[in-house]
């Protein structure tokens, strides 16, 4: 079992079986949104009475360049984006801590997102884990997956972390992130934070 704290703890009431989408959302970007929209479309066409369950992974990781935003901040990102969308009237958001034990991951995650649902993903390794655990896995092909990898988005955000021109920040980040999320990160000073997380701990410039 991981030495990382289980934060948050599993809910007392299990989530109803649903269509599960798992991501770290560091930050919520257009690649995630493409996956979420595809999962919602599939849910409505196949199991409209089941919830769409958006799972935020790595909720217990300490702040770092790889994990700069807390799970609460990532929950806020998803909720902010959802408020600007039509539909999405049956969505649950859960945060799942890491345990650093892949063979036990699905059993651990089920305590948060429920059992016997459908796992909707574009990630092959995650698909294999859930398939081996007996889940129905829906594989989504995302042609621009490499373009919207989280580390690329964070690297771009880092380059902008010491820039004060908010219009320039919005223009550059809009290629990979929704405007509402960019505005949120500016509002909470969540971009400048990145400058303190690189080696040395002091902002550049």
Examine the domain organization and report whether 130 and 183 are in the same domain.
no
Question: Last residue of a domain, which of 92, 108, 139?
Answer: 139
Whether 99 and 187 map to the same domain: the answer is: no
- 46 and 95 inside one domain: yes
What distances in angstroms separate CA 8 from CA 71, 94, 107, 155, 190, one per listed residue?
9, 9, 16, 28, 22
Residue 182 in domain: yes
Q: Which domain holds residue 180?
A: 150-196
* Bridge partners for 27 per DSSP: none
Residue 201 within a domain: no
Q: Is 113 in the same domain as 161?
A: no
Q: What is the pTM of this model?
A: 0.93
Cβ–Cβ contacts within 10 Å for residue 97, how many?
22
Q: Looking at the 3D structure of the chain, how many domains does it have?
A: 2
DSSP assignment of 87-139: ---SEEEEE----S-HHHHHHHHHHHH-SS-EEEES-HHHHHHHHHTT-EEEE
Indicate whether 28 and 119 sit together in one domain: yes
User: Does residue 156 share a domain with residue 83?
Assistant: no
DSSP sequence for 37-72: HHHHHHHHHH-TTSPEEEEE--TTPPS-SSS-S-HH
Q: What is the pLDDT along the chain (205 residues), one digit of tens a residue?
A: 457 899 999 998 878 899 999 999 999 999 999 999 999 999 999 999 999 999 999 999 999 999 999 999 999 999 999 999 999 999 999 999 999 899 999 999 999 999 999 999 999 999 999 999 999 999 998 766 667 889 999 999 999 999 999 999 999 999 999 999 999 999 999 999 999 998 555 443 3
Same domain, 46 and 114: yes
The residue among 131, 169, 148 whose CA lies nearest residue 36 is 148
Q: Where among 139, 168, 184 does a domain terminate?
A: 139
> Are 71 and 120 members of one domain?
yes
Residue pair 158/194 in contact by the 8 Å Cβ criterion: yes
- Is there a single domain that holds both residue 80 and residue 115? yes
Report the alpha-carbon distance of residue 105 to residue 113 in Å, rounded.
Answer: 12
Q: What are the tokens at 90?
A: 């049956």
For residues 163 and 185, membership in a common domain is answered with yes
Residue 104 lies in a domain: yes
Whole-angstrom Cα Rg for the chain: 17
CATH code of residue 53? 3.40.50.620
- Residues 121, 140 contacting (CB under 8 angstroms): yes
* Cβ atoms of residues 14 and 52 within 8 Å: no
């Amino acid at each position: 079992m991981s030495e990382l704290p289980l934060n948050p703890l599993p809910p007392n009431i299990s989530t109803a079986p649903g269509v599960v989408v798992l991501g770290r959302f560091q930050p919520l970007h257009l690649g995630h949104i493409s996956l979420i929209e595809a999962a919602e479309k599939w849910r409505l066409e196949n199991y409209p009475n089941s919830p769409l369950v958006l799972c935020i992974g790595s909720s217990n990781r300490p702040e770092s360049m790889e994990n700069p935003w807390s799970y609460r901040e990532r929950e806020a990102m998803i909720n902010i984006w959802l408020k600007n969308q039509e539909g999405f009237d049956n969505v649950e958001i859960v945060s799942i801590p890491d345990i650093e034990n892949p063979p036990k991951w699905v059993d651990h995650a089920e305590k948060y997102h429920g059992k016997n649902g459908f796992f909707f993903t574009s990630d092959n390794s995650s698909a294999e884990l859930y398939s081996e655990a007996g889940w129905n896995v829906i594989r989504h092909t995302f042609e621009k997956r490499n373009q919207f990898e989280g580390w690329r988005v964070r690297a771009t955000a880092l380059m902008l972390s010491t820039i004060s021109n908010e219009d320039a920040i919005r223009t550059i980040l809009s290629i990979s992130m929704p405007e509402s999320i960019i505005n949120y990160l500016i509002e909470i000073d969540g971009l400048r934070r990145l400058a303190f997380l690189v080696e040395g701990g002091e902002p550049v410039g």
